[in-house]
Structure 1
Amino acid sequence: MSGTAPRTLFIDADACPVTREALDAARHAGIPAVIAGNTTQNLTRHIRRDDPRRPEDARRGFWVDVLDVSVGADSADFAIIERLGPHDVVVTQDIGLASMVLGRGAAAISVRGHVFRRETIDMELFVRHEEKKVRRAGGRTRGPAAFTGEDRRRFTAELTKLLRAPIEPL
């Protein structure tokens, strides 16, 4: 890594099925992690007893914090964006948040291991918008397939690659 600030892993934890895997990847990569979600969740259940909780207690660069946000649409998203720096990595199922993350020079990955790209995010947003229009008109769209062990393995492999990638100067 160069002289840039180290990256941080942010986890959009609202209904996130891979929070534990994301924290394991941050531990192994030696980077800080922030779990963001609304106050109705017990986000600390994902943290090990021996995990450092403050930067001054970090082990090999890893420590973990919980960011409790108010209940409300997009509260966690905006809390993450507010704290996000270039080169950080965000785990999210939300294409809108992924788009904002990419616009900030950071990386975004879905819980199924799809790494969002600047080249394709506009099309993904368009598809989401069109599907929403169909549903508002009373139509039906296909929902996501059931989350599988293969999705979990793909997520872990792709997140590990993202966290190990060298930080490029902006």
Structure 2
Amino acid sequence: MTENSVNSPSIFVDGDACPVKDEIIRVAARHNLQVTMVSNQGLRASVGPNIKAILVGPEFDAADNWIAENCRPHDIVITADIQLAARCLKQGAQVIGHNGKPFTPDNIGRALASRELNQYLRESGEISGNNKTFSKKDRASFLQTLENVTQKILREMT
């Protein structure tokens, strides 16, 4: 497959710091979906005719803006960026974090509020900026969630 039809879902990846690229490629190949990895830094070459890399400019949020402007209903967006997740949900896309937790209209408000609180606490020195380590459990959870979301979308579209 070189290009999906307008009605096929695509997977958009916020690619600069994505630890689950291999899992995304595996699920996309299984379901013959287009993957677009968007980055403002160079990405390693991904193998497969259904993998496209988009290199955007170095401007702040350039990759996020590109994804938010190009995703549509039934697409899947992979990101850890809560603000990008909110924008993509408004476009009707399904959004999954790298740890396998989906962002939904029901939980995005709480996620945005938590992000703002944590940013304030880091800036005031109350907490450090260290993130927890990405685990095998996170990777497995992501893979299962992506597979489930993909199957659900494909069922809805038939």
TM over 0.5: yes
How many equivalent pairs are there?
A: 152
Equivalent pair of 2:95/2:103 in contact (CA under 8 Å): yes
1:131 deviation in Å? 1.2
Aligned counterparts of 1:83 and 1:166: Cα–Cα separation in 2? 18
Name the structure 2 match of 1:42. Answer: 43
Matches within 5 A, 1:20-31: 20-31=22-33
In structure 2, the CA distance between the partners of 1:166 and 1:89, relative to structure 1 (3 Å rule), is closer
Name the structure 2 match of 1:114. Answer: 101
1:43 deviation in Å? 3.6
1:142 deviation in Å? 6.3
Aligned counterparts of 1:142 and 1:35: Cα–Cα separation in 2? 26
In structure 2, the CA distance between the partners of 1:141 and 1:71, relative to structure 1 (3 Å rule), is same
Name the structure 1 match of 2:55. Answer: 68
Q: What amino acid sits opposite 2:35 in the alignment?
A: A
Superposition TM-score, scaled by structure 2 size = 0.89
1:79 deviation in Å? 0.6
In structure 2, the CA distance between the partners of 1:151 and 1:68, relative to structure 1 (3 Å rule), is same
Name the structure 2 match of 1:123. Answer: 110
Aligned counterparts of 1:33 and 1:98: Cα–Cα separation in 2? 17
1:136 deviation in Å? 2.1
Runs (5+) with no aligned partner, structure 2: 1-5
Superposition TM-score, scaled by structure 1 size = 0.83
Q: Does 1:151 align with 2:138?
A: yes
Runs (5+) with no aligned partner, structure 1: 53-62
Query: Which 4+ residue blocks in structure 1 deviate beyond 4 angstroms?
Result: none
Aligned counterparts of 1:143 and 1:150: Cα–Cα separation in 2? 19
Aligned counterparts of 1:138 and 1:148: Cα–Cα separation in 2? 27
Q: What amino acid sits opposite 1:112 in the alignment?
A: N
Identity within the alignment, %: 28
RMSD: 1.9
Name the structure 2 match of 1:7. Answer: 9
In structure 2, the CA distance between the partners of 1:73 and 1:23, relative to structure 1 (3 Å rule), is same
